[in-house]
Amino acid sequence: MSRRAAGGGQIYLDHHSTTPVDPRVLDEMMPHFAGSFGNASSADHRYGHAAAEAVESARERVAAAVGARPEEIIFTSGATESDNMALAGTMARYRDRGDHMVTCATEHEAVLGTARHLEGSGVKATYLPVDGEGELDLGELESAIRDTTVVASVMAANNEIGTMHDVGEIGRITGERGVVFHTDAAQAAGHIPLDVRGMGIGLMSMSAHKMYGPKGVGALYVRGAKPRVRPEPLFRGGGQERGMRSGTLNVPGIAGFGKAAEIAVRGMAAEGERLRSLAARMLRPLEDAGGVLNGHPTRRLPHNLSVYFEGIEGKAIINSVADRVAISAGSACTASTVEPSHVITALGHGEGRAHSSIRIGLGRFNTAEEVDSASEIIAGAVGRLRRIGGG
C-alpha cells in the first residue's frame, strides 16, 4: 500500500515528522466521532460508559506495548506535553530533594526548551555532549549526577540521526543514584523494543502520530512503585487521569493510539528487519553520489537515514526533489527556522555539515520500488546541484 496518492504523486519518506494513520487505526477511531461520542468522565449513562471503556482498553494496549501497568499510563496531547510534564512536574514535585537536572545536547527541543525555561526559575541544568556518532558517554553521565540531581532526561532514539542510546544502562546508573530517569521515546516507541521496568525508566514520553496513530494524542508513563514517581500536574481542573492531566479526554484519538500501539508491537520484529533492509538498499546509491551517513552506523533506528552531502545545501536537495519525494532537513518542530540542526552540530562537525544534511524516514507503506525510485531521484538531484555549483 503506497502513500503516493495523498501526496499528489510524491513518495513519502518523512516518517520521523509524522506517519499516516493506519487504516486499521482509523477503523478503531471512527465510531467515537458520532455514534459512540460520549465523554469518558460521564458516569451516569451508557454513552459515558462506552467512552470510558474505549479509553481503558487503549490504556491497556499502550501499557502492554512498553511493559507498564495500565494505571501508569497518563494520556496527554502528545510527546511535547509529556516531556514538559515529566521535567517541569518532577522538578516541582521534588524541589526539596534538589535543584539540578541532567540532559543531553541532542535532545528534542521539547526537552531542551523546558530545561532552559526551568533554568530561568532557578533550576541548574547540565547538558551532556555526544561523540561524532551521537552516542552519550555513560561515564560522563555518571559523573554529572550530583547529590542535588532530581531527574535525568535522555531520549531513547534521536529524531534526526536515528542513534539509539543505551536506555537500560542509563536506567541502571540513575537508579543506583536515586535519580528519576525520563526518556523521550516519541521516535522509539512502536519501532524498537521498550520495557520500562527492565530498563529502569521512571517517566517515558510517547506520541501516537509517530506510530501510525492520530495527531494530538500521546502519553506519559509514570512509574507507580519501587520507587513511585509523581510529577506535579501542568493542567488543573476536573481531575481526569488521576488528577495528573485534567481536561476532557480525546476519546477517538486515545482509541486510535491504543490500536496503533497494538499493531506496532505485534509486527515490530518483522517490520524492523524489512525497514533496515530498505534503509541499507537506499543508502548505497546515496553513498555512490557522495553521501555520508550521520549517526551511528548500526545502533540506530531501522527506518532512519541522515545523510550529508558535502558542499550542497540540504534545503536545495529537498526543494529539487519536492515534487516527487518528501524528505526533510531535520526536526519538523523547528523546520521553519534557518538555524543549523543542533543535533548535527553537537556531533562536532560544524554548521556546514548541518546545513548540508537531509533526513529520510522510511515507513510501513513504503515499497522497495519506491526506495529505488527515490534513491535515483535524490542522487540525480545531487549530481545536478554539483554541476551547477561547479563541484
Active-site positions read 333
Peptide bond into 297 cis (omega under 30): no
Secondary structure percentages of the chain, helix, strand, coil, to 5: 45, 15, 40
C-alpha cell at 121: 526559575
DSSP bridge partners of 305: 360
Q: At what angle do helices 268-288 and 251-266 cross, to 10 degrees?
A: 80
Q: How many other C-beta atoms lie within 10 A of the C-beta of residue 32?
A: 22
- CA dist list (Å): 361 to 84, 278, 329, 374: 25, 11, 11, 12
Please, is 223 exposed, middle or buried when counting C-beta atoms within 10 Å of its C-beta (0-12, 13-18, 19+)? buried
Strands in the chain per DSSP E: 11-12, 73-76, 100-104, 124-128, 149-153, 180-184, 203-207, 218-222, 291-293, 304-309, 325-326, 357-361
Residue type, 197: R
Closest listed residue to residue 12, CA positions, set 381, 362, 385:
362
| 279: enclosing H helix or E strand | helix 268-288
Task: In whole angstroms, give the CA distance from residue 50 to residue 285.
Answer: 52
Q: Would you give the distance in Å from CA 280 to the centre of its chain? A: 22
- On whether the CB atoms of residues 216 and 254 are closer than 8 A, the answer is no
DSSP bridge partners of 205: 184, 220
